[in-house]
């Protein structure tokens, strides 16, 4: 049987689809590239925005056009939230929600076209299991994502993730230690610690994310470790202090803000204040001056006036951050924000998004300029044949290019940052 996979969404989704792919490989299936002739197609979906839902529908229809006789399985967050919407797409054979997405090889003995789609979606109760997942994160197979947490208990007024993913749950600490030790025996150069709300990590023994960071630091693995997006209220002082002194952890954080307006933050039901966020960023930069800091922001939340947006813009302009991930607010059914009045017109939402994306480019340029002349460690990830150069990321998340022989892959090298070229920095190999 030939099987192809398509993943939409976050690093956790990517890790999970990789785990499901392993299940099929163990059954003896041949994995083929999406779009190539195959017998089965598995599509892992995202539902974080209306645009994500639309992208899912496009991919499902594309899969059906390319392989009209293939068994088509749609799994993941969009499947959990809108199974009946997916079932209306003619040709879909099975829809698996969060509880069942790892059971596809168990639920079907033969992957044959169905007369109508079978739906396996249930409410996400307290007994929802934790599924371990790990995946390669780049084509050169130098970086891997380690999922240690799933789900979310936060009541943010705009978000459907708790409905799609269920309660927060974590990989048991003893198994986590074992996985870190196993990864230490591989050829990977970087491990990204990931989760839906990774800072909420807490296993049944009471171990928290602080314990995870301390264990990895004390274990001294040969890989460098990078923390994926972490909520500001969960980025504890102990974590920052550990990373400030660490030779294992990358000096790079991605910390969601969402709004620089105190009023909008309260309406969003975020678990921190504007002042707390500012103190956190300033504290990080005082301890780790070269630290790269990414920020999530939402534009056009209900009730966001020009004054609120100006507060956000000025706040971000004056913060020593590196780049922004800007999201245009979209109404999500079943969320409190969807019922709020005083909607921001769509064209204004887009205008504000474009303004913040320009600010992001400015911030990234300023940060790169501040690092010129300094030396960093880079994992060569991609060799550009046409330019005869390598491309990779520094530990503080600057994309660089440098000239070197083609046999550098799978080992870290030291480079000096010399010249900004668009969104990359031309660098000189030092060793």
Q: Which of residues 90, 120, 150 is at a domain's end?
A: 120
Q: Does residue 140 carry a pLDDT above 80?
A: no
Q: Vertex 117, ends 114 and 118: CA angle to 5°?
A: 100
pLDDT at 20: 95
CA distance 105 to 23: 7
List the single range of 51-55, 127-131, 248-252, 421-425 with lowest mean pLDDT: 127-131
Sign of the Cα torsion 413, 417, 418, 424 reads positive
In this structure, the answer to whether residues 213 and 305 fall within a common structural domain is no
Q: Does residue 99 carry a pLDDT above 80?
A: yes
241: CB partners within 8 A, 6+ apart? 287
Q: What is the mean pLDDT of the chain?
A: 95
Q: Does residue 96 carry a pLDDT above 90?
A: yes
Q: Does residue 205 carry a pLDDT above 90?
A: yes
Q: Which domain holds residue 327?
A: 251-367
| Torsion of the alpha carbons at 205, 209, 213 and 219, rounded to the nearest 10 | 20
Tokens 């994992």 belong to 379
In this structure, the answer to whether residues 344 and 379 fall within a common structural domain is no
Query: In three state form, how does the secondary structure of 14-83 look?
Result: HHHHHHHHHHHHHCCCEECCCCCCCCEEEEEECCCCHHHHHHHHHHHHHHHHHCCCCEEEEEEHHHHHCH
Mean pLDDT of 14-31: 94
For 264-316, the pLDDT digits (tens) are 999 999 999 999 999 999 999 999 999 999 999 999 999 999 999 999 999 99
In this structure, the answer to whether residues 272 and 350 fall within a common structural domain is yes
In this structure, the answer to whether residues 243 and 144 fall within a common structural domain is yes
pLDDT at 359: 98
Q: What is the CATH number of the domain that holds 45?
A: 3.40.50.12160
Residue 409 confidence class, pLDDT cut points 50, 70, 90: low
**Edge-to-edge strands, sheet with 252-254:** 252-254, 292-299, 323-328
CA distance 297 to 71: 39
CA distance 72 to 114: 9
pLDDT at 279: 98
CA distance 182 to 245: 25
Q: Which of residues 367, 392, 415 is at a domain's end?
A: 367
Q: What is the CATH number of the domain that holds 301?
A: 3.30.750.200
Looking at the chain, the whole-number percentage of residues with pLDDT higher than 90 is: 92
In this structure, the answer to whether residues 148 and 231 fall within a common structural domain is yes
Q: How many domains are contained in the chain?
A: 4
Mean pLDDT of 180-196: 96
In this structure, the answer to whether residues 216 and 305 fall within a common structural domain is no
In this structure, the answer to whether residues 183 and 268 fall within a common structural domain is no
For 220-264, the pLDDT digits (tens) are 999 999 999 999 999 999 999 999 999 999 999 999 999 999 999
In this structure, the answer to whether residues 201 and 257 fall within a common structural domain is no
């Amino acid at each position: 049987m030939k099987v192809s996979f398509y993943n939409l969404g976050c690093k956790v989704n990517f890790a999970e689809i990789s785990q499901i792919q392993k299940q099929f490989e163990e059954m003896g299936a041949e994995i083929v590239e999406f779009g190539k002739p195959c017998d089965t197609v598995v599509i892992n979906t995202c539902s974080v925005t209306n645009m994500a839902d639309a992208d899912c529908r496009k991919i499902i229809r594309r899969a059906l056009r390319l392989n009209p006789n293939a068994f088509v399985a749609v799994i993941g967050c969009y499947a959990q939230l809108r199974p009946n919407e997916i079932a209306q797409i003619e040709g879909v054979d099975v829809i698996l929600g969060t509880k069942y997405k790892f059971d596809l090889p168990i639920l079907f003995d033969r992957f044959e076209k169905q007369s109508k789609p079978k739906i396996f979606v249930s409410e996400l109760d307290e007994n929802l299991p934790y599924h371990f997942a790990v995946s390669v994160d780049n084509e050169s197979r130098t970086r891997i994502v380690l999922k240690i947490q799933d789900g979310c208990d936060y009541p943010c007024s705009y978000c459907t993730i708790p409905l799609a993913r269920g309660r927060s749950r974590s990989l048991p600490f003893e198994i986590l230690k074992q996985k870190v030790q196993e990864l230490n025996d591989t050829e990977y150069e970087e491990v990204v610690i990931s989760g839906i709300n990774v800072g909420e990590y807490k296993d049944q023994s009471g171990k928290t994310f602080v314990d995870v960071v301390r264990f990895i630091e004390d274990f001294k693995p040969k890989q460098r470790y990078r923390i994926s997006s972490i909520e500001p209220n969960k980025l504890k002082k102990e974590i920052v202090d550990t990373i400030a002194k660490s030779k294992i952890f990358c000096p790079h954080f991605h910390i969601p803000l969402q709004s620089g307006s105190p009023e909008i933050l309260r309406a969003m039901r975020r678990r921190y204040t504007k002042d707390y966020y500012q103190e956190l960023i300033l504290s990080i930069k005082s301890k780790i001056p070269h630290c790269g800091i990414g920020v999530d922001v939402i534009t056009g939340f209900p009730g966001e006036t020009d004054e609120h947006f100006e507060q956000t813009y000025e706040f971000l302009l004056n913060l020593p951050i590196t780049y922004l991930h800007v999201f245009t607010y979209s109404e999500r059914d079943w969320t409190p924000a969807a019922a709020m009045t005083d909607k921001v017109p769509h064209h204004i939402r887009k205008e504000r998004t474009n303004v913040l994306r320009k600010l992001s480019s400015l911030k990234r340029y300023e940060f790169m300029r501040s690092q010129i002349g300094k030396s960093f460690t880079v994992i060569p990830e991609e060799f550009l044949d046409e330019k005869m150069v390598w491309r990779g990321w520094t530990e503080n998340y600057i994309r660089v290019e440098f000239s070197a022989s083609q046999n550098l892959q799978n080992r870290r090298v030291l480079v000096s940052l010399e010249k900004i070229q668009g969104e990359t920095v031309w660098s000189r190999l030092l060793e």
